[in-house]
Structure 1
Amino acid sequence: MASTPTEQPSSTSTFPSRQKPIPYSDENGKRTPLSSILPPLIFGTATFNHQFNSDPFALDTVGLVTSALTHGIRAFDTSPYYGPSEELLGDALAAPFVRETFPRASYMILTKVGRVKGDEFDYSAQWVRQSVHRSLERLHTDYLDLVYCHDIEFVSAAEVLEAVTELRKLRDEGRIRYVGICGYPLDVLGDMAEMLLRETGEPIDCVQSYAHFNLQNQTLGGPRGIERFHKAGVDVTTNASCLGMGLLRREGVPIGGLGDWHPAPRELRTAVHEASNFCDSHSEKIEVIAIRWALETWISKGALCGSRGDPASGLPWKHESNSEVGGAKLGVNVIGVSHPNELDKTMLVWRSILDGLEGGEQTAVQAGRWYRAWEWSRNRKKAVQILAEGVEEILGEWFGYSWDSPAKGFVNQKKTEGKVVDAEPSSLLTPAASPESKPVEGGEGVEKGIPLR
């Protein structure tokens, strides 16, 4: 188990006592734009869940969160739907060393409301308020930086409007700061972003899309995705799951405590397996290519709805500002890891990607890194792009494929006053919900690669 981190040779500063707050103000009705402070790399904690790991309680979540913070990550994404994720993240952030070294204002917490179980959604104002207060308790905080309506494709537009309206009331009360929506079908996300602007006169702060900008599906980067969101006034669009919820792995989809829950059809899995063999033939793992390609490409492709928040440096105890990597908006990515070695590898990739940005040559030299780091990064980008194009050719008709969400015949089993009531199904599936959150007797964390959701 990891505990208090030690100073690493790559660090260029002394062991810090307290980290600086992320600048935020809300004065005279004007809030700091989310796009000026949201970090471009967010730690997603869906992996603290039975979907990806047999026993999430066996994971060293305190060590992972602490290491992420020391490497510069300043935002964490979670949800009540992710089994014990909120509690595990909250406990990690409340650890004595973290609490003393990283004050609450020095990082951002993103969570969600509305999805209760795999087949149960409640977007009522009452439940939204109750869910937010429960999240505040679980995460040991007085406020939440961003709250999404979770998987909006499962409910009606009227329900989304009710939930967003209540979240904005909570925002005005100081309980949350920004409001977003998230889900799988891009057309539904676009419809809802436009509806919210039209009905309320105020655009949604953030849209989170998952599994739609990776080696298998890049629709988020086009007119149905980020371009449409931008026209609807969306400030930030975050890209989650650059491994397609674990689909783009040599070992295949992750099998956790819930068994095989992944919605990808057999034919798509077979095509990905062939693409993985193609990467193997060039001495690369498909997940390595997938992670690098998505993170690096979305930095520029997602800049239209990106952020100037300070990026994680990828190095222990080394702060880096947006101005040090060119000063432009960067597309925002969400990563998810289960084990320290996965985090270390991801941060090395991220550092190399930053080295390839504008001013990367000077930044590397000033930081005492290899003077050719920029050149290496640019050449690596070209090699990854070539393999990405090869994967696209092999996927063929499955490139750009999106599975149904929700699945045909879905009915929302919404509970009302102790009774289960069939709500009108949405015409427009994410994985099944976690089982009851409880430790597994003698359970051990099972490494499942690097699922990004």
Structure 2
Amino acid sequence: MPRPRSPLSHSLPPLVFGTATFNYQYNVDPFALSTTSLVQKALANGVHAFDTSPYYGPAEEILGTALGSDLVRRYYPRNQYFILTKVGRVAADAFDYSPEWIRQSVRRSCERLKTNYLDVVYCHDCEFVSPQEVLIAIKELRRIRDEEGSLNYVGISGYPVDVLCELAEMILRETGEPLDIVQSYANYTLQNTKLLSEGLQRLVNARVDIVTNASPLGMGLLRRNGPSLGALGDWHPAPDNLRQACIDAAKWAEIRGEKLEVVAVRFALENWLREGAKVGTFGSPLGHNDNSYSSGLSLPHEKIGVNVMGVSKIEELDETIRVWRSVLDGLADDLDADPGTITPSDAVTDHEWSLSRRQTIRTLAKGIREVIGSQWVDYTWSSPEPGFVNRLRPSFDDHDHDADEKCNDGTLATSPEITMLTPPSEAEDDQALQEVPPLHTLV
């Protein structure tokens, strides 16, 4: 199967559903989550892209079950949604970027996700291996794309912005072909905007087609109670003083009737839509839906930035959809679209409310960053930590290693010292303030 003719930016939706939360590290029993209902409701509300990884425990299997449900198969043909997954990270301290493992991982992901092709495959957390290993993996993924047709687009994911840029530049230089996509997490948030200030132009120059912004709460750092403690305890890499600065900022926001999480999510979604447009997408922000909401909102056909949001509860999904629709309604003003009256409330349209809310968020964001302080604004932690060693255990037989290695009690066989640093759920607050008025068209 030849390489797809059109760039990924012609079709990828700008809001991606993240599934890192479908994992034992963030839920005692991820199989007990209402994941099939979550995925079905996401599709019904125009969220037509799903990000996962074999490293996220059973996430691929759970997502595959949801996408393989009768309702999804009946109403959402495979070409109407995108599956983005990853290769290379085997465990918290073990990576295998060899061609043999890449091939096996791609085949296994297709089986788990119940599909004969993957839309995007990233090299997962590429800062943990050498540039040469990344180059070998990229070449193998492209060979699979061109010769086997089981994947369409190839990219890298990771945390340090400078490493992502260096690898994108190296891959273009060595192969003559740019990356289709780069995923950065926790680098365009209220606390840290290095993806914009240090990464954007370099990635544009490296001709990367799309750059996604994941983990708008900095892996839970921008929650008013700090990062959530899962079964593996305190895994977050942020230093104590940074955590305290964010807690202080949360108190500052609470005095003003706001919650840090609400401000942080909207700040990231709304601003990356604009700032990330150079490496954004033309894909429909509302999916293929034909409902009163999508027909009432008129957005010009221009690129907008791509965000990834993780949810594990229906309430979290509802809140994300509400914020997303309000952000789009405010965005229409930037793009010279006609103001809409999608869900009028009293004498104020949602369009007017969204524009007012956007200005409020700007003011709050400025104050929050001032409280966090110059010492911690744009601070980033080391990834990997100094002294990291890639410990591929010799007991792995013929590349048959698997991130889903479990103890007898069903939990992952991973110690607290080597916990997962990829984005967890970003909306784990059952008491979160409602960001916008309920939409009458939300199903």
Cα deviation digits, residues 253-311 of structure 1 (max 9, x gap): 12222222111111111111000001100111100000001000000000010000000
**In the alignment, which residue of structure 2 is the partner of 1:364?**
340
User: Equivalents in 2 of 1:283, 1:243: separation in Å?
Assistant: 19
Residues 1:350 and 2:328 aligned together: no
Q: Given that residues 361 and 372 in structure 1 are in contact (C-alpha distance below 8 angstroms), is that contact kept between their aligned partners in structure 2?
A: no
Residues 1:217 and 2:216 aligned together: no
**In the alignment, which residue of structure 2 is the partner of 1:255?**
229
- Structure 1 runs not aligned, ≥5 long: 1-25, 422-432, 442-446
Partner SS for 1:146: strand
Residues 1:386 and 2:354 aligned together: no
The letter for the 2-side match of 1:450 is A
1:235 pairs with one of 203, 209, 213: 209
2:43 pairs with one of 69, 73, 89: 69
Q: Given that residues 83 and 437 in structure 1 are in contact (C-alpha distance below 8 angstroms), is that contact kept between their aligned partners in structure 2?
A: no
Cα deviation digits, residues 29-50 of structure 1 (max 9, x gap): 6611111101000000001112
Q: Runs of at least 4 residues of structure 1 off by over 3 A?
A: 313-321, 359-363, 367-371, 415-421, 437-441
Change (3 A) 1:347 1:153: same
Change (3 A) 1:335 1:198: same
Cα deviation digits, residues 343-385 of structure 1 (max 9, x gap): 10111010001111235874633x5656722221111011011
Q: Given that residues 298 and 337 in structure 2 are in contact (C-alpha distance below 8 angstroms), is that contact kept between their aligned partners in structure 1?
A: no
User: Equivalents in 2 of 1:208, 1:449: separation in Å?
Assistant: 17
Alignment of 1:294-373 (within 5 A): 294-312=268-286, 320=294, 324-358=298-332, 362=338, 364-365=340-341, 372-373=349-350
Partner SS for 2:182: strand
**In the alignment, which residue of structure 1 is the partner of 2:140?**
166
- Structure 2 runs not aligned, ≥5 long: 412-423, 430-443
Change (3 A) 1:439 1:286: farther
Q: Given that residues 241 and 451 in structure 1 are in contact (C-alpha distance below 8 angstroms), is that contact kept between their aligned partners in structure 2?
A: no
Partner SS for 1:325: coil
Partner SS for 1:398: coil
2:406 pairs with one of 387, 411, 436: 436
The letter for the 1-side match of 2:187 is H
Partner SS for 1:177: strand
Alignment of 1:26-425 (within 5 A): 31-172=5-146, 173-222=148-197, 224-312=198-286, 320=294, 324-358=298-332, 362=338, 364-365=340-341, 372-396=349-373, 397-415=375-393, 418=396
TM-score of the superposed pair, with normalisation by structure 1: 0.84
**1:318 offset after TM fit, Å?**
5.8
Change (3 A) 1:364 1:155: same
TM-score of the superposed pair, with normalisation by structure 2: 0.86
User: Equivalents in 2 of 1:448, 1:40: separation in Å?
Assistant: 19
Cα deviation digits, residues 299-338 of structure 1 (max 9, x gap): 00000100000003799956849x9312210000000111
**1:97 offset after TM fit, Å?**
0.8
User: Equivalents in 1 of 2:425, 2:48: separation in Å?
Assistant: 24
**In the alignment, which residue of structure 2 is the partner of 1:10?**
none
Change (3 A) 1:246 1:261: same
User: Equivalents in 1 of 2:340, 2:54: separation in Å?
Assistant: 40
Q: Given that residues 71 and 314 in structure 1 are in contact (C-alpha distance below 8 angstroms), is that contact kept between their aligned partners in structure 2?
A: no
Change (3 A) 1:251 1:57: farther
The letter for the 1-side match of 2:89 is R
- Tell me the number of residue pairs that the alignment of Structure 1 and Structure 2 aligns: 408
Cα deviation digits, residues 80-100 of structure 1 (max 9, x gap): 000111011000111111111
Q: Given that residues 54 and 109 in structure 2 are in contact (C-alpha distance below 8 angstroms), is that contact kept between their aligned partners in structure 1?
A: yes
**1:417 offset after TM fit, Å?**
7.7
Change (3 A) 1:448 1:144: closer
Partner SS for 2:385: coil
Partner SS for 1:380: helix
Cα deviation digits, residues 215-258 of structure 1 (max 9, x gap): 11001012x21111010010000000000011111222122222
**In the alignment, which residue of structure 2 is the partner of 1:428?**
none
Partner SS for 2:332: coil
Partner SS for 1:324: coil
Partner SS for 1:43: strand
Q: Given that residues 264 and 403 in structure 1 are in contact (C-alpha distance below 8 angstroms), is that contact kept between their aligned partners in structure 2?
A: yes
User: Equivalents in 2 of 1:36, 1:255: separation in Å?
Assistant: 39
User: Equivalents in 2 of 1:270, 1:403: separation in Å?
Assistant: 15
Cα deviation digits, residues 184-243 of structure 1 (max 9, x gap): 001110110000000000001000000000011001012x21111010010000000000
Q: Using the aligned pairs only, state the percent identity.
A: 52
User: Equivalents in 2 of 1:438, 1:354: separation in Å?
Assistant: 47
The letter for the 2-side match of 1:206 is I
The letter for the 2-side match of 1:283 is G
Change (3 A) 1:328 1:248: same
Change (3 A) 1:139 1:394: same
The letter for the 2-side match of 1:90 is G
**In the alignment, which residue of structure 2 is the partner of 1:15?**
none
- Give the aligned CA root-mean-square deviation in angstroms: 2.7
Q: Given that residues 313 and 351 in structure 1 are in contact (C-alpha distance below 8 angstroms), is that contact kept between their aligned partners in structure 2?
A: no
The letter for the 2-side match of 1:217 is N
Change (3 A) 1:268 1:438: farther
Q: Given that residues 343 and 349 in structure 2 are in contact (C-alpha distance below 8 angstroms), is that contact kept between their aligned partners in structure 1?
A: no
The letter for the 2-side match of 1:364 is G
